Structure 1
Amino acid sequence: MAPRVTLQTIADHLGVSRMTVSNAFSKPDQLSAVLRERILAAARELGYVGPDPAARALAKGTTGAVGVLLTSSLRFAFTDLVATGFLGAIAEELGPTGLAITLLTSSDCGDVIPARDVAMDGALVYSCDPTSAAVEYLFRRRLPLVYVDQDPVDGISSVNVDDRSGARAAARHLVDLGHREIGLLMSGLHGPHGIVTPEDVAIDGHASKQRLLGWLDALDAAGVRPLIARQTGITLEQAKAGARLLLDRPDRPTAILCFSDAVAYGVLQVAADLGIRVPEELSVAGFDDNPLAVQVRPALTTVRQDVEAKGRAAAAALTAAIAAARTGEPATPQRVLLPTELVVRDSTAPPPA
């Protein structure tokens, strides 16, 4: 086995000090361009890739990574179109800073608890249960945090979209078209599932709560009492199961407001299976305006949120919080509320006569 190449190896090879070699990697402004290039060329020749990341992090007091705390399943980050767009915007915003992204599950992983054990300089808490042990661990570590799609908390920056206003606009759109028999299709892991009443529906998360409030703002004003179905999760099959609760019944609604475009896609599939024409016999409205909304037929009426802007705002707020923590200066929490916009397409129309 070849001997290990170290900073001292390069220093001996060039006849310079070990500190001079170290500065070539960590403090390039301390050296002339010619000397630094000599050192880097010698490092390449000898097979040295650079200082050990763990040792460098220990010396600098920083890890060069930020965490993104997700729900219990990391698959969500790779399969949900809204999540992938959000994470992509974060990665692009953080690129020039040199900070890397570490995805964290909010579930325990045996002896390893990511929120407790993974080294990071700060974290984004993204659409998670605020009472989970993972969030508590991040608090106890005193890490700089930013909440995204969460209820705002004193002392912590937050980035949200105006879910309530967007949901209100979608519900009012259906009421203005003449619909009075309207269904709501939601999702959640806790509480009752199936057909529920507005009084008994359990809410998982900030976005669900705000969207329900927005829908009810418009429906209550119009004297409409909705039929509410609550499914157990966010997969397509679960969305279809929830859609059947609303559509496979004699008193089915003439319009359905869906928690997301992915859920609305499940409604469109069940409507096709049951021979219900959209929008002639059933209007369907989603939320998010993810790429799926214009790919399905009919194209989906939905509420647009700017996922790219949300990712950029979250990354900027976190880097500001990390910078403040490094200087010891008190950080001023940011409160970002991004607008939403109703996008009317082909999946909504007046109710059948």
Structure 2
Amino acid sequence: MAARVTLQTIADRVGVSRMTVSNAFSKPDQLSAPLRERILAAAQELGYVGPDPAARALAKGSTGAVGVVFTHSLRFAFTDLVATGFLGAIAEELAPTGLSITLLTSADEGDIVPARDVPMDGALLYSCDWSSRAVDFLHRRRLPLVYVDQDPADDIPSVNVDDRGGARAAARHLLDLGHRRIGLLMSGTYGPYGLVGDLHDAGVVDGHSSRQRLLGWLDELVPAGAEVIAARQDGTGLEQARWGARLLLDRPDRPTALLCFSDAVAYGALQVAAELGIDVPGRLSVVGFDDNPLAAQVRPGLTTIRQDIAAKGKAAAATLTAAIARAKAGTPAPAEHVVLPTELVIRESTAPRAEPGEHLR
């Protein structure tokens, strides 16, 4: 078996102290360029890959990683266009800092609780379930945290978008087009699912964004006297969206317009409308939320509410790195709460309400 290569092995080969070799890896600015190159060349020749990451983290008091915690399975981070855009912006913002991203789920996996066990310097909680053990452990670890798409808390920094204002703009757009029978297609992680009776029941939606978007819709629809029919589906996947859309559209008294929780949900509604022979926007107007890349690619192009996903990711990463820096320096500051604007983007999926009778197949 080959002898283990250590810092001292390299120091003996180059003829310098062990500390000088250590500085070549951890404090390169303290060495001349030629000396550091000699040390690194010797390390490569001897097969030394660098200091042990765990030992380095212990010595520096930093893991070099931040967590991004999802309520959904981690597959969501790679398949949802909003989540992937959000993560890409975080990675771009963190690149100059040298911090890496660790993806975690807050879903309860029995004895396995990554949020409890994985080393990290801080974490972004992205639309998480507050009742999960993962969230509880993160708080108990006293890590620097930033809430994203969560209800703000006085002592925790947060980054949100103006979900309620955006939803108001979407509902107002449909009212201005003459629609008065409007369907709401919502999504959630926890039941009950199906047609919704009391939209003011707190259990109708879960999560900050869902709640704010519903409130925004109702801010406009209720004073206008609109007739509202709503359905709640299990999650944001395409099949769930199709199921919810069919509840609203496959009926003789269907709405003339739909307000959808997201563009992904709206896409499912467009598919169901096509299957039922309902022309969009001639007989049905559809509005999404997010303005993810899908919104401009589908036909007809989707009218939606734009949130700046890249700005949200960069703001979240910057807020977290600032919180980590303050924690290391022992200089607490009031929690910062960032709210990013939203914007109505009108495309081809909305049009004036058809004359009475024309909405029927």
- Which category of TM-score, normalised to the shorter sequence, fits these structures? over 0.9
1:5-62 superposed Cα distances (whole Å, 9 cap, x missing partner): 1111101111211111111111122222221111111111111111111110011111
Task: Find the counterpart in structure 1 of residue 200 from structure 2.
Answer: 199
**260-269 or 32-41: which moved more?**
32-41
8 Å CA contact retained: 1:108, 1:114: no
1:327 positional shift: 0.7
Task: Find the counterpart in structure 2 of residue 132 from structure 1.
Answer: 132
**302-311 or 53-62: which moved more?**
53-62
- SS at the partner of 1:221? coil
1:111 positional shift: 2.7
Q: TM-score scaled to structure 2, two decimals?
A: 0.96
1:2 positional shift: 2.2
| Correspondences of 1:178-217 after superposition (within 5 Å) | 178-197=178-197, 198-200=199-201, 202-217=204-219
1:333 positional shift: 1.1
1:224 positional shift: 1.1
8 Å CA contact retained: 1:74, 1:105: yes
| Correspondences of 1:296-315 after superposition (within 5 Å) | 296-315=298-317
CA distance in structure 1 between the partners assigned to 2:258 and 2:335 by the alignment: 38
Task: Find the counterpart in structure 2 of residue 38 from structure 1.
Answer: 38
Task: Find the counterpart in structure 2 of residue 340 from structure 1.
Answer: 342
CA distance in structure 1 between the partners assigned to 2:208 and 2:109 by the alignment: 26
CA distance in structure 2 between the partners assigned to 1:75 and 1:122 by the alignment: 22
1:244 is matched with which residue: 243, 246, 252? 246
Task: Find the counterpart in structure 1 of residue 115 from structure 2.
Answer: 115
5+ unaligned residues in a row in structure 1: which ranges? none
RMSD of aligned C-alpha atoms? 1.0
1:204 positional shift: 1.0
2:332 is aligned with what amino acid? P
Task: Find the counterpart in structure 2 of residue 351 from structure 1.
Answer: 353
Task: Find the counterpart in structure 1 of residue 295 from structure 2.
Answer: 293
Percent sequence identity over aligned pairs:
77
- SS at the partner of 2:206? coil
1:130 positional shift: 2.1
8 Å CA contact retained: 2:108, 2:132: no
2:183 is aligned with what amino acid? G
The count of aligned residue pairs is 353
Task: Find the counterpart in structure 2 of residue 260 from structure 1.
Answer: 262
2:5 is aligned with what amino acid? V
Q: TM-score scaled to structure 1, two decimals?
A: 0.98
CA distance in structure 2 between the partners assigned to 1:239 and 1:279 by the alignment: 19
Task: Find the counterpart in structure 2 of residue 329 from structure 1.
Answer: 331
CA distance in structure 2 between the partners assigned to 1:239 and 1:29 by the alignment: 55
1:160-197 superposed Cα distances (whole Å, 9 cap, x missing partner): 00000000000000000000010000011223211112
Task: Find the counterpart in structure 1 of residue 102 from structure 2.
Answer: 102
1:276-314 superposed Cα distances (whole Å, 9 cap, x missing partner): 000000000000000000111000000000000000000
- SS at the partner of 1:337? strand
1:230 positional shift: 0.4
**235-244 or 101-110: which moved more?**
101-110
Task: Find the counterpart in structure 2 of residue 169 from structure 1.
Answer: 169
8 Å CA contact retained: 2:191, 2:234: no
Task: Find the counterpart in structure 2 of residue 223 from structure 1.
Answer: 225
8 Å CA contact retained: 1:190, 1:202: no
- SS at the partner of 1:185? strand
